[in-house]
Amino acid sequence: MADRAAGPWSGGTTVLTAADVPGLNAFGLDVPDQPVLAADRIRFHGEAVAVVAADTDRVARRATEAVVVDAEPMEVIADPLRALEPGCRRRRWAEPLP
């Protein structure tokens, strides 16, 4: 999913992906059913795939540009009636985590 490329960053810069989350990569109020960072699929536009921490904004921006996301777009089904049609691929918001 997300991969971090080596870069000429100053000390104190860290790039984390789902592989770096210790233990269960999930959180939730009652049930931990939401990933901390997307691991095997991105569920919605804007879902976090990596976290960057750096000493300065400039270095953080350079580090974010080095993060590579390997994902293929999924078809958007925005019409609820179409989503109910036979043969329409169904996706639940919070599918069980592996």
Q: What angle do CA 60, 46, 62 make, to 5 degrees?
A: 15
Q: How far apart are the first and last CA of the chain?
A: 15
In this predicted model, what pLDDT tens digit does every residue of 67-84 receive, in sequence order?
Answer: 888 888 877 888 888 888
Average pLDDT over every residue of 40-58:
88
* pTM metric for this prediction: 0.69
68 versus 91: the higher-pLDDT residue is: 68
